[in-house]
Amino acid sequence: MTTTDAMNSEETLARWQAEEAAVRARLQTVPGVASPDQVAGRSGLQILEAILAGELPLPSMVATLDCVPVRIEPGRAVFQGRPGSRYYNPMGTVHGGWFATMLDTAMGCAVHSTLPPGKTYTTLELKFNIIRALTEAVPRVRAEGRLVHGGRRMAVAEGQLYGPDGKLYALASTTCLILDQAS
């Protein structure tokens, strides 16, 4: 890595940390699940925006992953996480399950962000490839999910997990089943 690359990486990391701090300041401090009444009549994007604004609870899984949503747009979701040693496998690197769950979260939210009121989704298939090992030496990574196809019954999304230096750590794709929301 050149000196310029290192400076760009440090600048990107500083920007990411500032964005994360701003998001964490808005989020509800106690993770949980929104009640059916809280989400009734809201589109997927409206639900995700309400979570990001701190109006609805942050799901417990993101606390488990030590990540936060940093950007939600129609068909796109970005989560930022800290790959700490508590996620290590016996080889001393981040467990593949953490990679998969970060990517599944981002891709699922990309799908969710396009759903109308009364609809939800579940993951039918998840495929991911780890490109390189990850340790806590990389202080933050981003999982970005993007909708590829959104249909009435099925949606497809793709995702990438990357560091502030632009290095790619994993790629993924998912197929999601679109469902009526339980009342």
Do residues 104 and 123 touch, judged by C-beta distance below 8 A? yes
pTM: 0.94
Q: Measure the CA–CA gap between 183 and 174, rounded to whole angstroms.
A: 26
Q: Measure the CA–CA gap between 84 and 88, rounded to whole angstroms.
A: 7
Greater confidence, 103 or 6?
A: 103
pLDDT band, residue 28 (cuts 50/70/90): confident
Coil, helix or strand at residue 66: coil
Q: What are the chain's domains? A: 3-180 (3.10.129.10)
- The pLDDT tens digits of the residues spanning 41-76 come to 999 999 999 999 999 999 999 889 999 999 999 999
- The pLDDT tens digits of the residues spanning 91-133 come to 999 999 999 999 999 999 999 999 999 999 999 999 999 999 9
Q: Which two tokens stand for residue 60?
A: 């417990």
Q: Between 44-53 and 96-112, two packed helices, what is the crossing angle to 10 degrees?
A: 120
